[in-house]
A and B are shown apart, each in its own frame.
Chain A
Amino acid sequence: MTGKALVPIVRLASGRWRAVLLQQVSELESEAEVAAMEKAIASRGYYPFRTDEEEMAAFAADQAAVDRLFHKTVIDVMARWMEIAEKKLAGSGIACYVCPGNDDAFEIDEVIAGSSAVSDAEGRIVDLGEGFTMASTGWSNPTPWKTHREAEESDLYARLTALIPADADCSHWIFNLHAPPRGTGLDDAPELDENLFVKNAGQSVVPVGSSAVHRIIEEKAPLLSLHGHIHEAKGVARIGTTLCINPGSLYEQGVLQGAVIDLDPRRGIRSYVLTTG
């Protein structure tokens, strides 16, 4: 849910502004140009901030200051999104559930908890009505980046079995698990070397999903299993009768990908479609 980069727009001694987005250097003159750059940066899912050369030098030398700025920006943006959700959803009767992923710091949970329109589904069983139940977690198996919410496969499996009752009939359950099941194609990511460089020009992909997630889907056979985490691996797969979906992510191109799924209490999944907004 949260962005991965702070992009500085630096005021130069000449009075102009300088920003680097996607390896492209832009020198900006007017307030309108700076505002447009802020919008371009935000549309990529990054956080723009205005600064000057002196402050940039200070940030470069002080990681703690960068962390504080990240923290403040993440919280501010998340709070703004919650406000937007409240405006859009008030009185609509639409229930909105979110589940922070492995990249998201724990601080954002408090912001979501304070929202009247958005519910945090992390670690919860939610009754969606009409006989459907949803179990969610944003935790993933270990990644090379050692992010906030990741656990060894055995711990992740324990977390999942603690969440889903052993005697549950999951024929009308939806598993909303951030990490995709391993080896299904929904978890294909570019192979990396030890320094996190992409190998073989991105041609070589390897499965990086969770075996714990795969196992719990096999064991419980839910109706539907929703995933994310591996942005490149948009797709649909079946594990037994379970329909597994990863809509992928292109937020860095300012594109919202999703899945629209039509559920029917009798027939289960009536239809689904992956969207690119």
Chain B
Amino acid sequence: MTEKPDLFLRKATGLIRSWSVMDAFIYAFFSINLVTLGLYTMSQAYAFNGGMIPALIISAVLILAEIVVYSGLIAVMPRAGGDYVWQSRILGGGVGFILAMTGWCFILWLWTPLYADMLRHIVLVPLAAVLGFKDAALSIASSPMAWLAVCVITCAFVFLVIALGMKSYARVQKFCFWVGNVGLLVVLGLLFAGNQGAFRSNFDAGAAQLLGLKDAYAAIEAAGTAAGATTPMWGGSLGQVFLLMPFLAFFNLWPNWGATLYGEVKGSQDFRKNFLGMASALIVTTALAIVLLLAIDKALGWGFYMKANAAYWSARWGLAQGAAVMPVWPYPAFLAVLSIHSTLLRVLILAAMAMWFFGWAGTIYLSSTRILFSASFDRLLPEAMAAIDPKTRTPFNALLFMIIPGLVVSVLFVFNIWNFSSLTLVSTLVIAVTFLGTGIAAVVLPFTKKALYRASPLANFRIGKLPLISLFGLVFCAFLGFLLYEWLVDPGNLYGISYRNVPSMLFMGFLYLLAVGVYVGMRAYRRRSGIDVDKIYGEIPVE
């Protein structure tokens, strides 16, 4: 029997088949990176009363609304530029430019020292320690100059990735995905096979041998308790659980990170496929996080793990008196390999776990450069911003625009000038504001861009009489509203970036003023040159 087709195609350029959900999954999976972002932020949230696992689950459920919003917008307008293009077209060019430039470009400057911090603690320090370079390990872990050097290395790595091109890096990412997951599986195996009694003796022996610490376990127990390590794995009231989410957002708010890259790729209008790619990454990552926390509880004891985090961060933030009893970040993979004695095996496991960093870090500025290109093509940035070197095909100007200020911010952060080291969560806040703009755009899309919406496959998705994208947009906006309230007002004084933190306010104010200044200035400059940039966003009515 002949199969009845739904449409007939002629031979024509661009008639390509869609991507696999697995590929989309890998990209989103790395964007909400459990080993880098996840462990880094969970370790800092040691002084709460809500359970970590309930917070992971509830925040993931809420972030599914974000995935519906972004999958929907990609289906309606799958254009390279993501938030910038959606907001420009739906909310207006000025709003789109300011929110996209701050949330996808300027704030990535602040991410530079954070990426570098993760590189040193997840890759350099543990590898140096197990290889017997004790002094190097301790120096990299604590010296600001070493951290700054790692910032430079991070930028050099990103430069290399972008110069190599995404074709090459996509292959690197796939390699890192599989090797990193094998590494994680081994770490989970070690943790589940261990017990707290054995861990204590292994930890004391390992800490003495690799880091020169004596009776480290007992010292950390005491220091962690004194530092106020309270966060439980389970339990707590719903309100207490919610208070963990402004920390967790640093890790799990980004399954949409590839949105700026979709462009006009055939199949990108398939709402279900976009949703599945991002949602499966979020669900699998959340499940993996829970399994990892259970494994940590089994081998280390949840209480000890939180005390180790408290001992480390309280000393680093200057909250604890005296010398740091935990001079290196309590990286669970490092703690797990202390149960084995082969240096080669330790190195192999830690190197495999390092792939979680390398498969992810290359994209720190990738989305930024895309946004810079879009703004340049819209004449809101100089044409040179989108220039590509003819030999290497590298966007040197756009990269330098990200790297140089990134290194300046790194100096401020690493040396804690103007209290910059307290600004970690600002990195998430500013992007959340950009996402809020996109959430609002999603809510109003079916009502303000009726023709565009009705001509999209999304028009068939409704709950009752309400468009699906508007409904989930409201949920997403409400979630972001809660996060922003907690960060900015912070009644419990939990996150350190509220209005009471003047450098935090000034830094964010500077970023937004810079974006407004560039927009107003470029608009006026173009107008003098005879270009009305408002026309770029204008639409010709359909006849």
Contacts and interface: CB of A to CB of B under 8 A. Distances in A.
Interface of A: 4-8, 20-24, 26, 40, 43-44, 46, 53, 56-57, 59-61, 66-67, 69-70, 102-103, 140, 143, 145-148, 183-185, 190-192, 195-207, 229, 231-232, 234-239, 248-250, 252-256, 260, 262, 270-271, 273-277
Contact of B535 (A148, A262, A275): A275
Interface in B1-24: 2-20, 23-24
Nearest to B5: A60
Given A207-B393, A232-B80, A276-B536, A202 B268 contact: yes
Nearest to B10: A70
B18 A198 contact: yes
B462 interface: no
Interface stretch (B42-50, B99-107, B526-534): B526-534
Contacts of A195: 17
Contacts of B455: 40, 43-44, 253-254
Given A237-B388, A273-B533, A197 B9 contact: no
Contact of B15 (A196, A206, A248): A196
B386 interface: yes
Contacts of B531: 271, 273
Contact of B540 (A43, A248, A256, A273): A256
A147 B14 CA distance: 11
A103 B277 contact: no
A273 B27 CA distance: 33
A194 to B, nearest CB: 11
A232 B536 contact: no
B537 A276 contact: yes
B1 to A, nearest CB: 9
Contact of B167 (A191, A252, A254): A191
Interface stretch (B257-265, B286-294, B309-317, B479-487): B257-265
Nearest to A53: B4
A206 B393 CA distance: 11
Contact of A234 (B3, B258, B377, B388): B377
A238 B262 CA distance: 25
Contact of A277 (B262, B269, B390, B538): B538
Interface string B379-393: 100010011101001
Contact of A232 (B5, B6, B20, B263): B263
A102 B13 contact: yes
Contacts of B263: 190, 202, 232
A147 B390 CA distance: 29
Contacts of B264: 231-232, 248-250, 252-253
Which are the 3 A-B pairs with shortest beta-carbon distances?
A: A20-B6, A201-B23, A277-B540
Given A67-B10, A147-B12, 17 more contacts: A4-B15, A103-B13, A185-B386, A191-B167, A197-B19, A198-B16, A198-B18, A200-B19, A200-B166, A200-B174, A201-B19, A203-B170, A252-B264, A254-B542, A270-B530, A274-B378, A274-B379
A276 B13 contact: no
B20 A201 contact: yes
B214 interface: no
B457 interface: yes
B166 A205 contact: yes
A26 B459 CA distance: 11
A190 B16 contact: yes
Contacts of B277: 201
A234 B19 CA distance: 21
A6 B7 contact: yes
A236 B386 contact: yes
A198 B11 contact: no
Contacts, number: 208
5 contacts: A46-B7, A57-B2, A202-B263, A205-B167, A260-B535
B8 A6 contact: yes
A15 B540 CA distance: 37
A50 to B, nearest CB: 14
Given A197-B20, A202-B262, A236-B383, A4 B537 contact: no
B13 A229 contact: yes
Nearest to A197: B17
Contacts of B373: 185, 235
Contacts of A231: 14, 264
B452 A253 contact: yes
Interface string B153-179: 000000000000111011001100000
A104 B439 CA distance: 40
Given A185-B393, A231-B14, A256-B540, A202 B19 contact: yes
Contacts of B502: none
Nearest to A62: B2
B451 interface: yes
Nearest to A270: B530
Contact of A24 (B27, B261, B460): B460
Contacts of B4: 53, 56-57, 60
Nearest to B530: A271
A272 to B, nearest CB: 8
Contacts of B165: 205-206
Contacts of B542: 43, 254
B457 A23 contact: yes
Nearest to A26: B460
Contacts of B537: 276
Contacts of A20: 6-7
B77 interface: yes
B124 interface: no
A61 B78 CA distance: 34
Contact of A204 (B167, B270, B451): B167
A206 B3 contact: no
A21 B5 CA distance: 12
A190 B17 CA distance: 11
B388 A185 contact: yes
Interface string B32-57: 00000000000000000000000000
Contacts of A199: 19, 23, 170
Interface in B71-113: 76-80, 89
Contacts of B386: 185, 235-237
A255 B7 CA distance: 22
Residue of B3, B265, B268 most packed against chain A (CB within 10 A): B265
A196 B19 contact: no
A26 B165 CA distance: 41
A198 B249 CA distance: 31
Contacts of A140: 13
Contacts of A24: 457, 460
Contact of B16 (A22, A53, A196, A205): A196
Nearest to B22: A201
